[in-house]
Amino acid sequence: MVVADINDQAGNETVDAITKTGGSASFVHADVSKKADAEAAIAAAVQRYGRVDILCQNVGVFPRVFFDNMTEADWDRVMSINLKSAFFVLKACIPVMQKQKYGRIVLTTSVTGPRTAIPQLSHYGASKGGLNGLIKGIALEQAKHNITINGVEPGTVLTEGVIKEYGESYRNNPVDRIPLGRFGTPEDIAGPVLFLASDDAKYITGQTIIVDGGQTIVE
């Protein structure tokens, strides 16, 4: 496995966790909103393993700003990181998968945008809606190469990024509108990602799985 991240410490900690359980992993510093970095990350995987079987694109920022106050720079930053990065990584990865006639691609999207809306996050919602459209288009084009592409739409998940952006007090927000009665965890998202990346999901493509504790079904 190749772990690509803009955060060297977090990336190397992930590699250490994988190797401690007997896995094989290496770290590549990459800002995948930049074409050269995205290409370098895929090249590193090919150089080490000779192929790329699974791509998990898990990238996103969610700075809050009301649309009335949103600048072009605000919009471009979110689109570049959340949406354009997928374009760069997929452009680098898909030719490799086409040659080997096999690929499993999983993108992290969100319920925000495709299903719901949150004030001050219209740019974020637009970027995630764009990812869902990208998934469907690529699924149609790449099915003939035995490449599947799907997505996971998390609800409210207490990731490190959420806590950093909104503060530790965010943990204490009411969860009465989540039927399962709690916020999600990264582990709640990992299971569906693993499923979509596995051959158990080999007949699934162009789809997204909502993982939100039932939040979007509340009237």
The answer as to whether 16 is a domain residue is no
Write the pLDDT tens digit of every residue in 155-165. 989 877 666 66
- The pLDDT assigned to 146 comes to 98
Domain of 106, CATH number, reads 3.40.50.720
What's the mean pLDDT in 19-46?
Answer: 96
Q: Is residue 29 part of a domain?
A: no
**Does 102 participate in catalysis according to the annotation?**
no
62-100: per-residue pLDDT in tens? 999 999 999 999 999 999 999 999 999 999 999 999 999
89 located within any domain: yes
pLDDT band at 167 (very low <50, low <70, confident <90, very high): low
How far apart CA 14 and CA 2 sit, in angstroms, is 10
Task: Using a pLDDT cut of 90, give the percent of the chain over it.
Answer: 88
Q: Is residue 78 part of a domain?
A: yes
Higher pLDDT, 54 or 161: 54
CA separation (Å) from 146 to 54, 76, 90, 103, 216? 12, 33, 15, 7, 32
**Token digits for 167?**
């503060």
The values of phi and psi at residue 197, to 5°, are: -85, -10
> Is 33 part of any domain?
no
Confidence class for position 172, pLDDT limits 50, 70, 90: low
Q: Per the domain annotation, does 49 fall within a domain?
A: no
Bridge partners, residue 153, by sequence: 210
More confidently predicted of 168 and 203: 203
For residue 168, the model assigns a pLDDT of 63
DSSP state of 63: -
Residue 191 lies in a domain: yes
* pLDDT band at residue 21 under the 50/70/90 scheme: very high
**Annotated catalytic residue: which of 124, 166, 170, 203?**
124
Of all helices (H) and strands (E), which one includes residue 106? strand 103-108
Range 94-97, long-range pairs (CB < 8 A, 24+ positions): 94/138, 94/142, 94/147, 96/42, 96/46, 96/51, 96/52, 97/52, 97/55, 97/142, 97/145, 97/147
Domain interval for residue 207: 54-217
**Residue 18: inside a domain:** no
How many distinct structural domains can be found in the chain? 1
Q: 13-27, 151-165, 201-215: which range is least confident on average? A: 151-165
